[in-house]
Structure 1
């Protein structure tokens, strides 16, 4: 006798949730990039293969079937950068490297009051004078590889020093400042640039660098636009534009209640 219902247990629900989570993370990685168009092309290619099979077009079906058979390898080649970003997302953003280090799980990095005030004061000044700035706060993800692309400072965070670094005529102004453990670890650092295609025209290379780093780390990033003077706060691949000094102070203290995901 054929059962009326398919057996559906708790592990089936868990299986669906895990697959949905993976697909959601993949969507976040490719959203707004050229990769989404490649996905559409692959989907059309797959539909064409199903269509020629349905009409028993053996020659075309066999040719397309050869490409489908190499699908996994082809996807790894075509989406090499996206796969790398996904692995970095799993290994870095979720801090799996410290999964057995209980101290690091409970002792989350905290930005000191004097450090946050120095940054807020500097960003307010940059906004008024339309001075471009890119400031990164390292969290659990190790950013020393990016710090090595710039000039190592290990200096105390003060508003005067931050304003001097990003002054247009100084040799350190072009690049990012990385703050780790409440110290300026390095300046003039090079960050990975996001390839998103749906960003507003007002967002320049600094914003793309901020989004690129936030996609592969849990860093908190502040950007000041040289063109508009707007302050932008970036985290986890999302951003909020036109952040006020009060909002920036709140975000740096890790209260993201008013953070709008874009």
Structure 2
């Protein structure tokens, strides 16, 4: 036993443990908060999909390095500066947005998470759902065409910039007025964020899906197109038939009923009740663990 202890002492004496002071601890905390906020931000943008693609390319290059694929490595080394510029160009809208949002972040609330009480988290309220359903079916009765894009996790800023800023609380009367024939805002799409109409007359990408019916016009193809490049929910009111359609994940559901539309919107609402008192949650977890140990 003494021999083992002496051997351990001999080896441990050669290990130099780094000294840690209060500045190092603060530095680690700041880096942790920055990395966490960056990952939360990138999760809700199109950059998340692009980042996954870059990770796949990085894994391919790692395999090339391990197996000594010198030709591939030489090509990458020569194109490295061009690739860096390409990444900056690709991520330009997202990088600009994160710089704009730096002043809006509540950093202290992220570091000190001891808020109290419970809150209901939802993308939009039940009142907004009622107003949307009413407006869509009122427009359908008089065959007023409409295209309403409901933003989800992926932000739609690049499409919002193509339209005219509205920034108004959503109501059925406002939607009907926007899509009324011969009005300045009726052509194009309305983009919703939360309970507000952010912009109108927005241009959307058209779908190239050959399986869509040839009877469908530009409005339906635009609704499917935006659902192919984002996680948005798009409501289309047909100008020819007055029928309501919903586009999600590149698929079009036609002739939906009022009950079905409400069901889709409630799912998109993503209502959850969150307990903000994290200190109380920690104490509850500790008391449960103590109860288990007592048993």
Q: Which residue of 1 aligns with 2:218?
A: 205
Residues of 2 paired with 1:181 and 1:193: CA distance? 24
Change (3 A) 1:159 1:233: same
Gap runs ≥5 in structure 1: 1-86, 92-102, 257-262
Partner deviation per Cα, 1:91-122 (whole Å, 9 max, x = no partner): 9xxxxxxxxxxx9xxx9752211111111001
Structure 2 partner of 1:243: 256
Distance 1:109 1:193, change over 3 A: farther
CA distance in 1, matches of 2:224, 2:182: 26
Provide the rounded CA distance (Å) in 1 between the counterparts of 2:268 and 2:171. 23
Between 201-210 and 129-138, report the one with greater CA deviation. 201-210
Instruction: Tell me whether 1:172 sits opposite 2:175 in the alignment.
Output: no
Q: Residue 186 of structure 1: which of 191, 199, 210 is its match?
A: 199
8 Å contact from structure 2 (residues 233, 268) kept in 1: no
Describe how 1:55-74 pairs up with structure 2 within 5 A.
Answer: none
Q: CA deviation at 1:202?
A: 2.8
Q: Conserved in 2, the CA contact under 8 Å of 1:138 and 1:180?
A: yes
Query: SS of the residue aligned with 1:170?
Result: coil
The residue correspondences of 1:74-93 to structure 2 (distance < 5 A) are: none
Work out whether 1:124 is the aligned partner of 2:137: yes
Deviation at 1:253, TM superposition (A): 0.5
Shift in CA distance, 110/255, structure 1 to aligned 2, threshold 3 Å: closer
Q: 1:226 aligns with which of 219, 225, 239?
A: 239
1:147 corresponds to which residue? 160
State the SS of the aligned residue for 2:267. coil
Larger radius of gyration: 2
Query: Distance in 2 between the 1:195 and 1:252 partners?
Result: 26
Q: Which runs of 5+ in 2 are unaligned?
A: 1-89, 95-109, 111-119, 270-295
Q: 1:167 to 1:255 in 2, by over 3 A?
A: closer
Q: By percentage of residues, which structure has more helix?
A: 2
Q: Equivalent residue for 1:195?
A: 208
- TM-score, with structure 2 as normaliser: 0.49
